[in-house]
Amino acid sequence: GTTLGSAAARTGRYFGTAVSAGKLSDSVYTGILSREFTMITPENEMKIDATEPNQNQFSYGNADRIVNQAASQGARMRGHTLAWHGQQPGWMQSMEGAALRQAMLNHITQVATHYRGKIYAWDVVNEAFADGGSGARRDSNLQRTGNDWIEAAFRAARAADPDAKLCYNDYNTDDWNQAKTQAVYRMVQDFKSRGVPIDCVGFQSHFNSNSPVPSNYQTTLQNFTGLGVDVQLTELDIEGSGTAQANNFRTVTQACVAVSRCTGMTVWGIRDTDSWRASGTPLLFDGNGAKKAAYTAVLDAL
């Protein structure tokens, strides 16, 4: 029968989900996973605190379990994430300056080398820009190592895994008229003009009543591709229920399909009960694993 993955593949796209290693023993979960999805992002298992819990001691067990699941079902992997202010291990949180810069680059080199050839796209840097109207970088220990930390991260990732697509990933970059969106756009434009290796921009796309799907979402995706990068919807979830939620999922899916370099989309979990959101029903399957109206809307729009 038709699935999200096979429907997306008709136009050369993938359809992915975030996966938690701890749920791979749940047969309802893995049943939907292997049936519907052609791309997998580890929800937490490739983050810095998971892969380097102590400095220079790397821990790949849970991430490798997810990579093995992907291989067993013929799905590809998005790697998430090599450099981020969030979910840093304690040792990194307390570092600064040149030592932190070196630790970040070593982390990127080690992890990207471990997974070399197995990752379709890496979120090399996650969430490096501030919210609000400033268009500034987010303050973080990584940012305080120098404004060039992002390009240094991308160069290290390219050297370690030359065939992986290298993405910048963020949220609240969906509305073309927002300062944060414009600031990321200018960074990508600058990287392209100076030959800094970047191949894609990920739009997390966590939508809710405070952060609704903007009317110019497709324009934003299209404009970024004008810089010569692919775009991807990397962590899609939309609060709500019923027809209203389904309509929002349809709009978002249609936007990706209308943009030739929107190469695929990933939802941030399988069932509503798998969502990182403390409450609400933001995904495509209900807690029993049944397809919601939002599922049908996405399938029809692919």
52, 127, 151, 239: the active-site residue: 127
**Contact call for residues 106 and 57 (beta carbons, < 8 A):** no
The strand pairing partners of 16, in sequence order, are: 39, 266
45 is catalytic: no
43, 52, 235, 239: the active-site residue: 235
Q: Which is nearer to ligand XIL, 204 or 263 (CB)?
A: 204
Q: Which is nearer to ligand XIL, 49 or 257 (CB)?
A: 49
Q: Which of 44, 223, 247, 251 binds ligand XIL (CB under 6 A)?
A: 44
Binding letters toward ligand XIL, positions 157-196, x by CB under 6 A = ----------------------------------------
**Minimum gap (Å) between residue 49 Cβ and ligand XIL:** 10
Cα–Cα dist 93/55, whole Å: 11
Q: Which of 36, 43, 272, 274 binds ligand XIL (CB under 6 A)?
A: 43
Q: Which is nearer to ligand XIL, 18 or 299 (CB)?
A: 18
Cα–Cα dist 39/157, whole Å: 20
Please report, as residue ranges, which positions from 8 to 37 form the binding site for ligand XIL (by CB under 6 A): none
Cα–Cα dist 141/143, whole Å: 6
**Minimum gap (Å) between residue 199 Cβ and ligand XIL:** 18
Q: In a 3-state reduction of DSSP, which class is residue 135?
A: coil
Cα–Cα dist 125/145, whole Å: 14
Cα–Cα dist 99/112, whole Å: 20
**Minimum gap (Å) between residue 46 Cβ and ligand XIL:** 10
Residue count at the site for ligand XIL (CB under 6 A)?
6
**Minimum gap (Å) between residue 90 Cβ and ligand XIL:** 16
Q: Which is nearer to ligand XIL, 170 or 175 (CB)?
A: 170
Q: Which of 62, 126, 141, 220 binds ligand XIL (CB under 6 A)?
A: 126
Q: Which of 17, 173, 178, 204 binds ligand XIL (CB under 6 A)?
A: 204
Closest CA to 199 of 160, 252, 148, 162: 162
Q: Which is nearer to ligand XIL, 44 or 216 (CB)?
A: 44
Phi, psi of 226 (to 5 degrees): -65, -15
Complete DSSP assignment for 138-181: PP-TTGGG-TTHHHHHHHHHHHH-TTSEEEEEESS--STTSHHH
Residue facing ligand XIL at closest CB distance: 276
Who contacts 11 (Cβ-Cβ below 8 Å, separation ≥6)? 257, 302
127 is catalytic: yes
Structure tokens at 82: 């090599």
274 binds ligand XIL (CB under 6 A): no
235 binds ligand XIL (CB under 6 A): yes
Q: Which is nearer to ligand XIL, 214 or 269 (CB)?
A: 269
Between CA 190 and CA 199, with CA 193 as vertex, the angle to 5 degrees is 80
**Contact call for residues 145 and 102 (beta carbons, < 8 A):** no
The contact set with ligand XIL (CB under 6 A) reads 43-44, 126, 204, 235, 276
Supply the residues annotated as catalytic: 127, 235
